[in-house]
Amino acid sequence: MQSGAPHSGVGRVIADRYHLLNQLGSGGMGHVWLAHDQQLDCEVALKEIVFGSPGEEERDRTARVARARAEARHAAGLRGHPNVVTVHDVLEHEELPWIVMEYVPGALDLKALVTQRGPLAPAECARIGLAVLDALTAGHERGVMHRDVKPANILLAPDRTGSPYARVLLTDYGISVQPDTQETRYTRTHVLVGTAGYLAPERAQGGPPTAAADLFSLGCTLYYAVEGYGPFDRDSEIAALTAVVLEEPRPTLRAGALESLLAAMLAKDPVRRITAAETEAALSAIVTPQVHPRTEPDLGSQPQWAGERTHTVEPEVIGSGVRHETPWYPPEAPSAWAPSPGQGFCAPPRTTGTTGTAGTTGRHRFHRSKALLAGVATALGLTLLVGGGWYAMGNLPGGGVGGSGGQALPYGEAVGLAEPLKDGDCVDVSWTDARFEGTPRLRLVPECTGSAMDGQVMAFYEASSAEDAEAGGAAQCEQLTEEDRGNLVDIRSYPVLPTDDGFDAAGHRVACLLLGERRPVYGPIGRHRQVGSTVFVDTATMQKQDCLEPISETKARLVPCQDRHRQKVLGFHEMPADTTYEQATTKALAACARNVPPEEYGYEDAATRSDSWISEDGWKKGAHYVVCTVISASGGTMEGEEA
């Protein structure tokens, strides 16, 4: 922790409102935190401006506080723009400035995307360029220059269709600090503001920031996106600045239809540089090329996931994404992008046997009665005899109710599903070999209940081909499910890959499952739960910031955090692998109090204390996790949190 921010850290509450959850990034001039807004019950990003030393504090405090306010005003003036990260507020806490911004989960910056997947296709670069140009133009019309357009300041996030990179957002608007990178900045008064290699020549020579200079930086950014490196990348910042002023850009190899436009955007003389309006027209022509008779389109200008689509249902094309009959719809509002208290999602109640004690020991145990499971198995068998044939026929290749009528199976014979998976589908997973080895066979679980509920579809990755799906599906599913996995425990993602023959039948998409690492998840998870009707009979589906109302020693209901509640989940603690369940029941409470103390989450030490839940079923399967909660020290209810 830097000396200028002695009171910041995970669990602190800023301005009596923002509860810091974890640090998203850090750099020489500040930190960015994921925080929970306790008034609006949503997640936000908090940018903390800090000082490196007492000497710097004396010299720069007043100027930097004023600058933070100005930066926030610049970005807040564009809060209605769809391609600008929204700034909600600027405040001071303990004499340090904080900027409250939109939190964009699932986002990946352009630099990271190119690093992970390689250069993008020219048409996809043009689509991104159009969105960023629109944001820049909106700022320029208000007299605000960005001054630091670069790949790390462009976020690509899922849109409402689930297409992972369809939403384009310009961040750090008018801000020369990028906490989560190590790139050199020039930020002191009368010194250059920007990033070496992306500054316009006139700016590198001390000229004022202009719209033309931002356009040059956008050209450098698009060059990086299509080529995989910057046009003036050098071994040092000084060498890069020299190249910007004196040298021509490195020759393009992959730019295709973008080549001539990039040359016009990177003109040294701002007077001769292409204008924003001309740039918009050129980018639009690449994104939507004019098709002339007997003229083949420039394949080099197509998005990297573009391809022939043969869906039986006419899709609606949105940018490079495709909306199918059953898309994933993550809410656009930042308040709902991260699971937060009071937002519903849940599993129907299930009956289970109970043993153990609570209250005096502070432990809650989950047991699964063998007799009950036997009864469920009997009932399931009768159900299959009476009506299961209908459902089974629907999952046979090429026939039965809801079958594909001879169409190739989307995920192949090994997986066995006749129809593509949809958002929220629950599955029973049968592994031929060890868990997570080989290709499992999947069976839909229609009601998302019962011990067979191994996992659930939480996201989709739209691939350009079956080869692309196989090469990048696992990594993309990791990224798209990162937030959900972070709120659960003992969970991992698994990509269900389309085959060559089934690529069209799968809708060109990889289905991203969340599965229990060592055991089933036993019910709907994440956004698919519903507050008020979910009854936990196992810890597998409890997630951070859940508010609970215990029903018995082994059951708890998920309730709105705005209402009075008995407990709130703070986190999880893993015990050593050799710990027996019996030992865990005696150690769980102390382990939570020591490792997940409520006071680190903003709760008063005298008014609250730790509590815990453990699962015998999970323990026996190797999931040695304790769910740690906070409860009222008096044993009563906790006050509802402001909505």
Return all residues near 264 (Cβ < 8 A) that are at least 6 apart: 273, 274, 278, 279, 282
Report the relative pairing of strands 363-366 and 608-615 from DSSP bridges: parallel
Rounded to whole angstroms, the Cα distance separating 475 from 469 reads 10
Rounded to whole angstroms, the Cα distance separating 498 from 486 reads 27
Both tokens assigned to 233: 């990348």
Assign residue 95 a region: left if phi > 0, alpha if psi is -120 to 50, beta otherwise?
left
In terms of DSSP H, where are the helices of 142-205? 201-204
In terms of DSSP H, where are the helices of 330-447? 370-383, 389-394, 412-415
* Burial bucket for residue 196 (CB in 10 Å: 0-12, 13-18, 19+): buried
Q: What are the beta bridge partners of residue 638?
A: 565
Both tokens assigned to 130: 């159009």
3-state helix/strand/coil string of 212-233? HHHHHHHHHHHHHHHHCCCCCC
Q: How many CB atoms neighbour CB 568 within 10 A?
A: 22
3-state secondary structure of 356: coil
Residues 162/315, Cβ–Cβ less than 8 Å: no
Token pair 């890069």 is found at: 240
Of the chain, the end-to-end C-alpha distance in Å amounts to: 32
Return all residues near 338 (Cβ < 8 A) that are at least 6 apart: 34, 42, 43, 103, 105, 483, 487
Determine if residue 150 is labeled as part of a ligand binding site: no
Sheet hosting strand 154-157, strand order edge to edge: 108-109, 154-157, 167-170
Q: What are the beta bridge partners of residue 486?
A: none
Token pair 């425990």 is found at: 489
Assign residue 535 a region: left if phi > 0, alpha if psi is -120 to 50, beta otherwise?
beta
Rounded to whole angstroms, the Cα distance separating 182 from 544 reads 31
In the chain, the amino acid numbered 147 is: R
- Burial track 12-40 (b if 16+ CB lie within 10 A, e otherwise): bbbeebbbbbebbebbebbbbbbbbbbee
3-state secondary structure of 531: coil
Residue numbers belonging to the annotated binding site: 47
Residue numbers belonging to the annotated binding site for ATP: 47
